[in-house]
């Protein structure tokens, strides 16, 4: 969680009644939090089934297999493996890329910390590239200039569930013999030219954290698009052993054979996710309806030059992971967030650029200019958007935003 998500947790606590006397001492009550974890209603029944019927609560039981199978089938993924987080899916991908100390990894500076730590933790040098202002995704036209003879991996991050320009990125990667790890943490159910995000690069990483569209509390999945990596992925995920092959009867005992760690989520978490995947279309449509209502309501202000709204390129279908807008500058954004708070709406900013952060400077460097990353990140703000938001809540957010931009 970034600083802004911590802020949002505090707001949720207020919403849960931890502040008993509204407005006392100037405390403002947030009635519409930035996020609520998705809940479709069948989650606890499936958790109970895992606990009481299946009597299997560790990893890789029936619910994990169902979730893996669902991802493979719905997204046309060669192989999907649930993990304990989006971060550990990225860490598994970094190990599978065989990162050696000094290898370079190209990624945007405008992303979550673990896009970076997954690679820098095992010795990679990070090479940050600027974003495009229209999608806040890595600017694909700047990638080639950042490649050196040390470059090994490109990590496109599909910000807000809107795809990076994957044809160009895959073409660059193939010509330079580089691997591609899609950070599709926010991109579950989104597509690029009809292909599911996460299934286009060599690896795709999903997050099922409670702030994401589909959740299991903490969790994620690694998608493997080249079957040559399947066996090693199973070993790394099973603490460096060939345990999966042992259970399939392919070897007669299981042995420590490679690097690894514990990346399997418990069945209780997988059972929660299964409930959400079964309702994935309903969740997606609900989120998209909220997104479109925000977009339509704020369009006049974009036309008047007062705000900038997200761009969805024609080849991308997005999943309404977030609705953001861009204010004029940092001061305008701060005033907007305060105004929304006064109207009970929890609006939050997002990533602080990595390249200029203390750890970013230690583990990496920016290639080329920071033309958009810092200035655009300073004026971006996200509106409340979660599954099950009521029409009234949505209208309250819209009315408050309109009041601010009209003033």
Ligand X SMILES: *Cc1c(COP(=O)(O)O)cnc(C)c1O
88 versus 244: smaller Cβ distance to ligand X: 88
Closest contact distance (angstroms) between CB of 218 and ligand X is 6
One of 93, 185, 233, 268 touching ligand X (CB under 6 A): 185
Cβ closest to ligand X, residue 184 vs residue 401? 184
Binding mask 150-179 for ligand X (x = CB under 6 A): -------x----------------------
Q: Cβ-closest residue to ligand X?
A: 86
Angle made by CA atoms 93, 94, 99, in degrees to the nearest 5: 140
In this structure, are residues 214 and 280 in contact, taking their beta carbons and an 8 Å threshold? yes
Residue from the set 68, 87, 244, 286 that interacts with ligand X by CB under 6 A: 87
Among 308, 320, 315, which residue's Cα sits nearest to residue 405? Answer: 308
Residue 225 within binding range of ligand X, rule CB under 6 A? no
From 81-89, 165-173, 335-343, 387-395, span contacting ligand X (CB under 6 A):
81-89
Side-chain half-sphere of 213: how many Cα atoms within 13 Å?
A: 28
Q: Is 114 in the site for ligand X (CB under 6 A)?
A: yes
Under the criterion CB under 6 A, does residue 210 sit at the interface with ligand X?
A: no
- Give the binding-site size for ligand X (rule: CB under 6 A): 14
**Residue 363 or 405: which CB sits closer to ligand X?**
363
Instruction: Give min distance, CB of 39 to ligand X, in A.
Output: 18
Asked if 112 is part of the footprint of ligand X (rule: CB under 6 A), the reply reads yes
Q: Which of 64, 111, 244, 276 binds ligand X (CB under 6 A)?
A: 111
CB closer to ligand X, 207 vs 266: 207
Minimal distance in Å, beta carbon 328 to ligand X?
26
Note the residues at the interface with ligand X (CB under 6 A).
85-87, 111-112, 114-115, 157, 183, 185-186, 207, 209, 220
């Amino acid at each position: 969680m970034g600083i802004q998500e911590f802020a949002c947790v505090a707001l949720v606590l207020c919403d849960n009644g931890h502040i008993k006397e509204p407005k006392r001492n100037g405390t403002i009550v947030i009635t519409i939090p930035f996020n609520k974890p998705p809940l479709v209603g069948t989650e606890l029944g499936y958790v109970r089934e895992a606990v009481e019927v299946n009597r299997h609560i560790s990893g890789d039981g029936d619910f994990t297999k169902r979730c893996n199978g669902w991802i493979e089938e719905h997204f046309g993924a060669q192989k999907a493996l649930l993990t304990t987080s989006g971060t550990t899916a990225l860490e598994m991908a970094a190990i599978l890329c065989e990162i050696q100390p000094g290898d370079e990894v190209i990624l945007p500076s405008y992303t979550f910390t673990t896009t970076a730590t997954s690679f820098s933790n095992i010795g990679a040098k990070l090479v940050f590239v600027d974003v495009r202002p229209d999608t806040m995704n890595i600017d694909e036209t700047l990638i080639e200039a950042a490649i050196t003879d040390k470059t090994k991996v490109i990590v496109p991050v599909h910000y807000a569930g809107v795809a990076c320009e994957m044809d160009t990125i895959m073409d660059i990667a193939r010509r330079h013999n580089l691997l591609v790890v899609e950070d599709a943490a926010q991109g579950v159910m989104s597509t690029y030219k009809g292909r599911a995000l996460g299934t286009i690069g060599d690896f795709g990483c999903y997050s099922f954290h409670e702030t994401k569209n589909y959740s299991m509390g903490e969790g994620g999945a690694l998608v493997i698009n080249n079957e040559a990596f399947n066996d090693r992925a199973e070993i790394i995920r099973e603490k460096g052993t060939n345990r999966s092959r042992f259970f399939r009867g392919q070897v007669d005992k299981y042995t420590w054979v490679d690097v690894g760690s514990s990346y399997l989520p418990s069945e209780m978490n997988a059972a929660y996710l299964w409930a959400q995947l079964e309702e994935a279309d309903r969740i997606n449509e609900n989120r998209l309806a909220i997104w479109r209502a925000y977009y339509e309501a704020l369009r006049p202000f974009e036309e008047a030059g007062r705000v900038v709204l997200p761009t969805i390129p024609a080849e991308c279908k997005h999943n309404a992971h977030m609705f953001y807008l861009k204010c004029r500058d940092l001061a305008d954004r701060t005033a907007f967030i305060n105004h929304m708070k006064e109207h009970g709406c929890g609006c939050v900013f997002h990533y602080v650029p990595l390249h200029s952060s203390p750890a970013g400077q230690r583990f990496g460097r920016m290639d080329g200019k920071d033309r958009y990353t810092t200035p655009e990140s300073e004026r971006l703000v996200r509106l409340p958007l979660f599954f099950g938001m009521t029409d009234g809540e949505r209208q309250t957010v819209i009315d408050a935003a309109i009041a601010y931009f009209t003033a």
